[in-house]
Structure 1
């Protein structure tokens, strides 16, 4: 029962009941990325008369976080490229790093040394700073 209500009312966790119904009725699975996100388009690439192009969407694996979409799939979702990454033979360059989602706001966020949020202690002040006082 809990899962039913979560699917009905929470849009940020996977897909809602409406999205699941739309995907089942009109969606065609195009591929899956390394993070488990599923990518769909309208069946047969049919052009939506309202939009003038085919609909493309993603069903996130877990919480809906846009930075979980790798650059290759982002280009396909936004109609920058017509061929999905599953249908092209792309080899990444040696200087390309693997995609990492944005971790800001999570416990895994980057906290440089000296940050008030970093673990440990801040470095001691060096004494080279002289504060401003009015009238001086």
Structure 2
């Protein structure tokens, strides 16, 4: 029962009922990535291209799509990483979750959310004042 309510009332947690219905009617499974996200294609978009979408494993976070699948999702390539021997390049970074709003979020020196003091102005800066 929780799954039904989760899908009915939230868009950020897996798939909605509309996505489930669209996947059932038009979707062809293309593959799954190492994070458990499942990729589909089917139907046509407004530009006549094949529509492609992802059903996230857990919370919907676009940065959780690996680079190979990102290229396929955005029609940069017609070959899905599951169809070929895709190997990420050494410079491609792995997924890091968005930490905004969490205790691990970036907080620069001087932020009201950190105990550090704000850096002093060094003198190479002149504040603007109206009428000057």
The reply to whether TM is greater than 0.5 is yes
Which of 79, 89, 102 is the aligned partner of 1:83? 79
Are the aligned partners of 1:13 and 1:63 in contact in 2 as well (CA < 8 Å)?
A: yes
Per the alignment, residue 22 of structure 1 pairs with 22
- Listed as ranges, the gaps of 5+ residues in structure 2 are none
What RMSD in Å do the two structures reach over aligned CA positions? 3.2
What's the TM-score, normalizing by structure 1?
Answer: 0.72
Shift of 1:118: 6.2
Shift of 1:109: 2.1
Are the aligned partners of 1:36 and 1:61 in contact in 2 as well (CA < 8 Å)?
A: yes
CA–CA distance in structure 2, aligned partners of residues 68 and 117 of structure 1? 30
Are the aligned partners of 1:71 and 1:99 in contact in 2 as well (CA < 8 Å)?
A: no
What's the TM-score, normalizing by structure 2?
Answer: 0.74
- Listed as ranges, the gaps of 5+ residues in structure 1 are none
Shift of 1:50: 4.8
Shift of 1:23: 0.9
CA–CA distance in structure 2, aligned partners of residues 12 and 57 of structure 1? 14
Shift of 1:56: 0.4
Determine whether 1:59 maps to 2:45.
Answer: no
Indicate how the Cα distance of structure 1 residues 60 and 115 shifts in structure 2: closer, same or farther if over 3 A, else same: farther
CA–CA distance in structure 2, aligned partners of residues 23 and 41 of structure 1? 8
CA shift digits 1:32-81 (9 cap, x unpaired): 12222111111xxxx62754111100111122221222222111111111
Determine whether 1:31 maps to 2:26.
Answer: no
Shift of 1:84: 0.9
Within a 5 Å distance, the mapping from 1:1-136 to structure 2 comes to: 1-42=1-42, 48=44, 50-112=46-108, 114-116=109-111, 121-122=116-117
